[in-house]
């Protein structure tokens, strides 16, 4: 398959290039495809390849020493990932896994730098893309560092418990995130953490409060 | 009948990202709108909800107390 020039033209990094300039970029771009669950890149690995998602979805995440996963971002078609190691040559700060069949365009960090030397105006595209990435991560750092999200999620669960099955409000993780003033990714992790502590059990479309007292203690730690 | 994700047809743009991530193959595109396969036994992983760029899929939880 040939790399699609129209797709490259619309990607955040290469917007504004002329057809001839895009052709020189295309010569450096390669395709890679992955099936659901396959790792595209490992946390800590040195790969120095910038990827742009053509189709499918990629999850960017970090894993703690005890196996807990924190999603950093969900990358959809037209968006890029692995930008940081591609530009600084260091190890991948996070892992990337295909959430379904995925087609990617890749360009090595060296080739990306060569493109920048050849077409300096796109430097502003790079700056804009990296700045938006930093903004997103700062917001996530704020959520994870300063907000006691798990306590708020515990409170939301206790305040919205159904008197009997089928009688209470039903809430998505996005709605819980909006109520807790945090990101959906943080709610997912909080629910997992509450389950690990034995306070709740995720039972398909139900969140079963298995230890109400424990949940109250998490909500208002002494 | 098993609970199924809720599709908001007004928001769905038919991008198919949810179809691509459903590990039970429980979503299909019909025209430009996604629908849930009638026979799917959804396990509520909520990946479809997570990846939808338009907030068109909801996997809402009911919160209940454990009955002893």
Are B60 and A55 inside 8 Å of each other by CB?
no
CB B7 within 8 A of CB B35: yes
Cβ contacts of B20 on chain A, cutoff 8 Å: 55-57, 99-102
Tens-digit pLDDT profile for residues A63-83: 888 777 888 898 999 999 999
Under CATH, to which class is B6-58 assigned?
alpha beta
The fold of the A147-219 domain, in CATH, is: Arc Repressor Mutant, subunit A (1.10.10)
Looking at the complex, report in whole angstroms how far the Cα of residue A53 sits from the nearest Cα belonging to chain B: 12
pLDDT at A165: 67
Q: From the list B53, B59, B64, which residue is nearest A172 (CB)?
A: B59
DSSP annotation of A150: H
Per-residue pLDDT of chain A (222 residues; tens, 9 = 90+): 688 989 999 999 998 899 999 999 999 999 999 999 999 999 999 988 999 999 999 999 998 887 778 888 989 999 999 999 999 999 999 999 999 999 999 999 999 999 999 999 899 999 999 999 999 888 888 777 777 889 999 999 998 888 766 667 789 998 898 888 888 888 998 999 999 999 999 999 999 999 999 999 998 876
Nearest to A204 among B3, B15, B50 (CB): B3
Pick the CATH number of A5-144 from 1.10.510.10, 2.60.120.10, 3.40.50.720, 1.10.630.10: 2.60.120.10
DSSP summary character for residue A121: G
What are the extents of the domains in chain B? 6-58
Contact (CB<8Å) A171/B50? no
- Taking the C-alpha atoms of residue A79 and residue B53, their distance in angstroms, rounded to an integer, is 12
Nearest CB to A209; choose among B55, B59, B65? B65
Contact A98, B20 (CB under 8 A): no
What pLDDT was estimated at residue B1?
A: 63
A107 vs A83: CA distance, rounded Å = 10
Nearest to A78 by CA among A5, A10, A179: A10
B51 to A74: CB separation less than 8 angstroms, yes or no: yes
Q: Which candidate, A62, A103, A53, places its Cα nearest to that of A83?
A: A53
Residue pLDDT, tens place only, B33-51: 999 999 999 999 999 999 9
* Cβ within 8 Å, pair B61-A172: yes
**Could you tell me if A210 lies within 8 Å of chain B, comparing CB atoms?**
yes
Confidence band for B10, pLDDT divided at 50, 70 and 90 = very high
Alpha-carbon distance of A92 to B8, in angstroms, equals 37
**Interface predicted TM-score (ipTM):** 0.86
- Domain residue extents for chain A: 5-144, 147-219
For chains A and B, what is the number of CB pairs under 8 angstroms? 95
> What residues of chain B lie within 8 A of the CB of A57, using their CB?
17, 20-21, 51
**Closest by Cβ to A157, choosing from B20, B60, B63:** B63
A45 contacts A86 by C-beta, under 8 angstroms: no
**Mind telling me how many Å the CA of B5 is from chain A's nearest CA?**
9
């Amino acid at each position: 398959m040939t790399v699609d020039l129209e797709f490259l033209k619309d990607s955040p990094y290469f917007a504004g290039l002329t057809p001839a300039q895009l052709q020189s970029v295309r010569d450096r771009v390669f395709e890679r495809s992955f099936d659901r669950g396959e790792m595209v890149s490992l946390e800590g690995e040195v790969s120095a390849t910038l990827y742009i998602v053509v189709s499918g979805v990629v999850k960017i995440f970090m894993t703690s020493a005890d196996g807990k996963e924190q999603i950093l971002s969900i990358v959809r078609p037209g968006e890029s990932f692995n930008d940081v190691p591609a530009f600084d040559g260091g190890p991948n700060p996070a892992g990337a896994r295909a959430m379904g069949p995925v087609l990617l365009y890749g360009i090595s960090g060296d080739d990306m730098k060569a493109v920048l030397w050849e077409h300096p105006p796109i430097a502003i595209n790079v700056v804009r893309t990296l700045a938006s990435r930093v903004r997103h991560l700062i917001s996530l750092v704020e959520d994870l560092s300063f907000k006691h999200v798990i306590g708020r999620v515990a409170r939301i669960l206790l305040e919205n418990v159904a008197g009997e099955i089928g009688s209470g409000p039903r809430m998505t993780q996005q709605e819980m995130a909006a109520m807790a003033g945090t990101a959906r990714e943080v709610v997912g992790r909080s629910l997992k953490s509450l389950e690990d502590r034995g306070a709740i059990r995720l039972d398909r479309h139900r969140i079963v409060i298995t230890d109400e007292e424990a949940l109250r203690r998490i909500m208002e730690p002494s | 009948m098993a609970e199924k994700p809720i599709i908001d047809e007004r928001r769905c743009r038919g991008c198919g990202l949810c179809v691509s991530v459903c590990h039970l193959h429980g979503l299909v595109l019909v025209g430009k709108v996604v629908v849930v396969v009638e026979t799917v036994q959804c396990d509520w992983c909520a990946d479809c909800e997570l990846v939808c760029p338009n907030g068109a899929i909801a996997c809402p939880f009911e919160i209940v107390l454990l009955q002893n």
